[in-house]
Amino acid sequence: MPANAKYLSSGGQRFLKTTAGILGGFIVTILFHNAIGTLLESKGGLIITTGYTSFILWAALMVVAFMVKNGWKIWGIYLLIIVLLGAVIFLNK
């Protein structure tokens, strides 16, 4: 039984959601852990836990990207988070 067409996204929206989930989520994940690293004094524990938490955060950001109706909106949110985390990293160096 095919899916109801009113619940499906257009091709462009699917592309935006996919790229936001994969690329945008990955960049947000990496910058989040780098920002945490600039705030902490001891970085030994961060290196170990980053391996686990980065995958969990990236998967969660991918799910969020597909839950949003509009692909442009999720890209805007992820770009805003990227700029904020980049500012935190820049100001703490």
Q: From the first residue on, what is the mean pLDDT of each consecutive set of 10 residues in the chain (93 residues)?
A: 73 92 96 92 83 94 94 96 97 88
Tokens found for residue 33: 């852990």
- CB contact at 8 A, 65 and 21: yes
Q: What is the tens place of the pLDDT at every residue in 47-67?
A: 888 889 999 999 999 999 999
**CB-facing half-sphere around the CA of 15: CA atoms within 13 A:** 3
Domain ranges of the chain: 13-92
Closest-CA residue to 77 (of 27, 34, 30): 27
- CB contact at 8 A, 72 and 17: no
3-class state of residue 5 by DSSP: helix
